[in-house]
Structure 1
Amino acid sequence: MNENAEASKLEDMRKSIVVSSRVRLARNLEDYNFPNKLEANEAKDIISKVKESLDGYDINFNAVIMAEADMLYKEYLLENHLISKEMSEEAKGAVFINEQNTLSIMVNEEDHLRIQALLPGLHMDNAYEMCDKLDDLLEKNLRYAFRENLGYLTSCPTNLGTGMRASVMVHLPALVEMGFITPILENATQIGLAVRGLYGEGTQFIGSLFQVSNQLTLGFKEEEIVNSIMGITRQIIEKEIEAERILVSKLGIVLQDRISRCLGILATSRVMKINESMNYLSKIKLGIRLGWITGISDEEINRIMIKVQPGNQIIDYKAKSQEQIDTGRANLLRTIFKDVDFVG
C-alpha cells in the first residue's frame, strides 16, 4: 500500500471511531420557576412561547407533547437521541424536532429549554453553529435568565455559564478488548470530562460505545469547550487505533474468526436479543474498519444500531410483543447481512 493510500485508510479509521457529535445548550426564562417547581399552566405557557418563537424560523419543527405521547413513542425518541430519559418521564414537557432529526428543543426538562444539535461523525463545529443560530433566534423572542457574573442561569450549578454541553459518541472495541479502557475513562474524569453509556447518565455501556462530554461550563467560552472536546476525542481516537493494531498483531486469525462468526450469526439467526445484536454489530464495525468486511458501510452500521432498538422495532416494524421484537430484529439483520462478505 502506497503512502497516500495508507494515509487515506487511516483517516477513514479515525472517522469511523466517532459515531456522532452533539452540542446542547441549557436555557431558562426570566419570571418562571425552574421546571421542578413549575405549575402546569406555567409549563404550558413556556411551550406556547417556544412554539411562537419557532414560527419565524426557516426550518420546520414537529411538536411532541409528552403528556399526549405514549410510552412506546417516547422510547422511540429516546433511542434516536432526540429526548433524554428524564424528558420521557416528564408530563409537563414537550420536544420540538426538525424533519432531519438533527435539531431539537426539549422544553421543561431539567431546564426550560435544552437546545440540541446531533450530527454523525466528528462535526462538533457544525453542531455548535446549528445550536448557536437557533439559540439566537429564540433569544430575540424569549427573555433568558442571565447574569453578568454567572452567565446563563441553570437548574444544575454545573451548567452555569455558557450552559453548554458538548459530547461525542465513540466506538472503542479494541480498548475494551485489551483492557485499556478503564484507565482512559479514569483519566477523562480527572480532567473534568463525563463518560456515560449509550443514552447518557445512568445508562449502561453496550456495544463498546461511550459518550464523552464536558462537565463544567462556568468560566469557559463555547469555542473553548468545543476545542477541548475535539482535542480529547482525537487523543482517544489515536489510542483506539493503536489498540486495534496491537489486537490484530496479538490475535491475528483468532480475531478474524470472531468477527466472521459474528457476521455468520447476523446473517442466519432467527431470534436476536438487543444486547447480543449490539455486541455483534460492534464487532462488524471493527471488521469494516480493519478492511475485513465488504458490502456494507460503517455509516449503515450506525443507523442499524438504532433500528434494532426495541422502540424502533415497535414503531417502524409494528412488533407487538417481546418475541416479535426479537424475531423482527433477527429478520431485519438477516436481510441486511445476507449479502455482506468477510474478506479478511
Structure 2
Amino acid sequence: MMRFSTLMKHPADWMTGKNANNEVVITSRIRLARNVRDLPFPGWAKKAERIDSMELIRGKVEALKVMKNGFSHELSELEPLQKQVLVERHLISREQAARGQGSAAVVDRGQRLSLMINEEDHLRMQSIRAGLHLREAHRLLGKVDDALEDELAFAFDADLGYLTACPTNLGTGMRASAMLHLPALVLTEQIGQVLQAVNKIGLAVRGLFGEGTESLGHLFQISNQSTLGESEEAIISRLERVIAQIETHETNARLKMLEDEPNQLSDRIGRAYGTLGYATIFESKEAFSHISLLRMGAAMGYFPEGTMQVCDSMMMDIQPAHLQLHAGAELEPEERDLIRAEILRTRLQSLEAPAINVLTNKNASDEDTTGDLNFENE
C-alpha cells in the first residue's frame, strides 16, 4: 500500500480542477454512512470489538480493485500532524482524527475515494469530484457501496433504511454536499439573503471543514440535512438545482461588480496580489481572504489560465498541518505565520501581475444581475 509521504507528493484529482468548471463550485462530495449487522456501533463497542471490526472491514475495503496501491493506515499508526493533514485534505473528518486504536482510513491513489473505518459508524465512505458533479461522485461511490454490500451484511431496516449511530443519518445514510467559492456575494452583501434562503428549504450551510467551522476564503459548504423519507436521486436533484442557482447568483454578482465598480474591483484584486507578494506575516484567515480575491480575479480574466489551480494549491499548502509538514517540525502560531508568508511570496513570484488596465475599460452586461434569491420553488 501507499506510504503517507507518497500520498502527500501527489495532489488529489479534485484539487487540480482538470477538465472541470470549478470557478464557483469547487468540489462535489457524496458521503455514505454504513454499519455492519450484528456488530456493536463504534461508540458502544469495547476496544477489542473495535479492533476486530476494523480488521474485518479494512480487509474487505483494501481488497477492492479501486483501492489497489492505495493508502491504508490505522489511525493509531499516524502522528497527530499526519492526521491533521488528512483532515485538511478532506480525506478524514475531525472526529476521525481524534480516534486511535480500532479506527482506520483507506484512500485510493487519486484521493477521489476515502473510507473511514470506525468513525461514528463502522463505515463513512466518501467520493469527491471537482466542479458540480454530484452524480459522478454518486456513481463512483455507488460501485464501492455495492461491492462492499456483497461482502458485508449492512444493518438495514425495511422501514427506516440503513441504520446509523446518529438518527439524522437514518434512511439513505447519504450526505451530498458542494464546496462553493462565493466572494462576490460576500462583497456585495448578498450572502446573508442567499444563506437564509438555503436554510429555509432545509439545506445546511457550513464552513470549510463542515459542522461547527467558519467560512474561510469565502468558501461555503452546502449539503442536505435530511436522509430519511427521501431517495438518493431526490436529494441529489434538489441540491443540484439549488447549487446551480447559487452559482448563477455568484456569477451575476461578479458581472455587476465589474459593470458598476470596475476600478474598485481592480483595486481589490491588485491590493490582494501586492499584499500576498510582499507581506512577511500572514495569519490563515487574512491569507485565505487575499487568495480568494485572486481566485475570483483568475475566473474573471485578470490572470492567465491555470491561476485558479495555483490559488487552490496555495489554500491547501498554507493550512497549519501542511505548513508544519513542509517545515518538518511542529511550529508555534507565530512561526507558522512567518512561513505562510514566505510560501506565498515565493508562489507569487511566478504569478503574473493582474491585467488591470484591460479590465477597467471592459463593458459588462447591462442586464439586471441581482435575481431572485428565493429557492423554495426549485
TM-score by length of 2: 0.84
Instruction: Please list the CA deviations of residues 30-74 of structure 1 after superposition, one character each: whole Å capped at 9, or x if unmatched.
Output: 112222111111111121112221243112232222223222111
CA distance in 1: counterparts of 2:316 and 2:22, whole angstroms: 19
Match status 1:343 vs 2:350:
no
Contact preservation (8 Å) 1:294, 1:343: no
Question: Does the C-alpha gap of structure 1 residues 317 and 130 become closer, same or farther in structure 2, counting only changes over 3 Å?
Answer: farther
Match status 1:97 vs 2:107:
yes
Match status 1:196 vs 2:206:
yes
Match status 1:106 vs 2:116:
yes
CA distance in 2: counterparts of 1:55 and 1:106, whole angstroms: 12
Shift, 1:13, TM fit: 11
**SS of corresponding position for 1:342:** coil
Contact preservation (8 Å) 1:14, 1:237: no
CA distance in 2: counterparts of 1:253 and 1:148, whole angstroms: 61
The equivalent of 2:170 in structure 1 is: 160
Shift, 1:297, TM fit: 2.3
1:314-329 equivalences in 2 (<5 Å): 314-322=324-332, 323-329=334-340
The equivalent of 2:79 in structure 1 is: 70
Q: Which runs of 5+ in 2 are unaligned?
A: 1-18, 357-378
The equivalent of 1:3 in structure 2 is: none
The equivalent of 1:275 in structure 2 is: 285
Instruction: Please list the CA deviations of residues 223-249 of structure 1 after superposition, one character each: whole Å capped at 9, or x if unmatched.
Output: 222222111110000111111122223
Greater CA deviation, 192-201 or 222-231? 222-231
Question: Does the C-alpha gap of structure 1 residues 330 and 173 become closer, same or farther in structure 2, counting only changes over 3 Å?
Answer: same
**SS of corresponding position for 1:15:** coil
Shift, 1:339, TM fit: 3.0
Question: Does the C-alpha gap of structure 1 residues 103 and 110 become closer, same or farther in structure 2, counting only changes over 3 Å?
Answer: same
Shift, 1:25, TM fit: 0.3
Match status 1:334 vs 2:345:
yes
Match of 1:249 among 259, 272, 276: 259
Shift, 1:81, TM fit: 0.3
RMSD: 1.7
Match status 1:30 vs 2:37:
yes
CA distance in 2: counterparts of 1:64 and 1:316, whole angstroms: 21
Contact preservation (8 Å) 2:75, 2:99: yes
The equivalent of 1:85 in structure 2 is: 94
Instruction: Please list the CA deviations of residues 145-195 of structure 1 after superposition, one character each: whole Å capped at 9, or x if unmatched.
Output: 001111101112121111110100000011111111112111111211110
Identity %: 37
CA distance in 2: counterparts of 1:55 and 1:244, whole angstroms: 45
The equivalent of 1:7 in structure 2 is: none
1:140-159 equivalences in 2 (<5 Å): 140-159=150-169
Contact preservation (8 Å) 2:50, 2:103: yes
Match status 1:44 vs 2:51:
yes
**SS of corresponding position for 1:116:** strand
Q: Which runs of 5+ in 1 are unaligned?
A: 1-11
One-letter code aligned to 2:246: I
Contact preservation (8 Å) 2:62, 2:72: no
Question: Does the C-alpha gap of structure 1 residues 208 and 155 become closer, same or farther in structure 2, counting only changes over 3 Å?
Answer: same
The equivalent of 1:172 in structure 2 is: 182
The equivalent of 1:236 in structure 2 is: 246
